[in-house]
């Protein structure tokens, strides 16, 4: 059974702090790992990672994948209150069905 | 604008009643998915469909049913057999394996 584990499950920081969110996985055939941000309702896409060691960056957010150790991290620098959200990690384990397996998410709260 | 529309946003149901949640997309995506989200549980896959007139059970299909008569539409019926239906339901679609999901804004179902 495919498995995605995120840590921590929740995190409270102050504005300006840097945070690192973790995602480890065990899947039969890895194709890609995706990060989403969910503020109130619909999760919004952040990154898709397919290759080890290549950092993806978008503003203050960045992410990297380690396919040997089977994990990914999502970094957020200089956090703002608008970064408060649930961050979801998902893995595509291949096959023809395109389905994703999600972790439980990390609830990030950024206090002013 | 292209996207996924879920309706209604909020739904109340009495115990023993079936209810149907709507999901419509105009993105021309082949694959569509239904997920359930509970606090602390992440997203769990209920059903998915890759093409019209075909769908497969996900990890928690018991007490749910779906249909895919048109490419644009993938309604989910929560039956009276679902023992704990109160949850947030998300519909998603995906064009191919090199892309992430696009999510709808969700339906919050409450059993009263």
Render each residue's pLDDT in chain A as its tens digit; 112 residues: 789 999 999 999 999 999 999 999 998 888 899 999 999 888 999 999 998 989 999 999 999 999 999 999 999 999 999 999 999 999 988 766 667 899 999 999 999 9
Is the separation of the CB atoms in A112 and A81 below 8 Å? yes
Of the candidates A41, A45, A101, which has its C-beta nearest B100's C-beta?
A: A45
Give the tokens for residue B7. 């309706």
Of B31, B41, B97, the CB nearest to A104: B41
How far apart, in whole angstroms, are the C-alpha atoms of residue A19 and residue A79? 8
Q: Half-sphere exposure of B55 toward its Cβ, with a 13 Å CA cutoff?
A: 25
Mean pLDDT of B64-91: 95
Report chain B's mean pLDDT, rounded to a whole number.
92
A contact residues 1-60, partner B, Cβ 8 Å cutoff: 6, 9, 31-32, 34, 36, 41-45, 48
A-chain CB neighbours of B58 within 8 Å are 99
Joined tokens for residue B77: 């019926």
């Amino acid at each position: 059974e495919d498995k995605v584990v995120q840590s921590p499950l929740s995190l409270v920081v102050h504005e300006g702090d840097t945070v690192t969110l973790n995602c480890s996985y065990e899947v039969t055939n890895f194709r890609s790992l995706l990060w989403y941000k969910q503020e109130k309702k619909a999760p919004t896409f952040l990154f898709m990672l397919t290759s080890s060691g290549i950092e993806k960056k978008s503003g203050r957010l960045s992410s990297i994948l380690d396919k040997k150790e089977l994990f990914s991290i999502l970094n957020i620098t200089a956090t703002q209150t608008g970064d408060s959200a649930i961050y979801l990690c998902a893995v595509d384990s291949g096959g023809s069905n395109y389905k994703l397996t999600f972790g439980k998410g990390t609830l990030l709260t950024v206090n002013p | 604008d292209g996207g996924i529309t879920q309706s209604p946003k909020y739904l109340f149901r009495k115990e023993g009643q079936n209810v149907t949640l709507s999901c419509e997309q105009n993105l021309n995506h082949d694959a569509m998915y239904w997920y359930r989200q509970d606090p602390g549980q992440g997203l769990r896959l209920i059903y998915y469909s890759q093409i019209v007139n075909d769908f497969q059970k996900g990890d928690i299909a018991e007490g749910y049913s779906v249909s895919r008569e048109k490419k644009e539409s993938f309604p989910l019926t929560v039956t009276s057999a679902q023992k704990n239906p109160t949850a947030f339901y998300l519909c998603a679609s995906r064009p191919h394996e090199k892309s992430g999901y696009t999510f709808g804004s969700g339906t919050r179902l409450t059993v009263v």
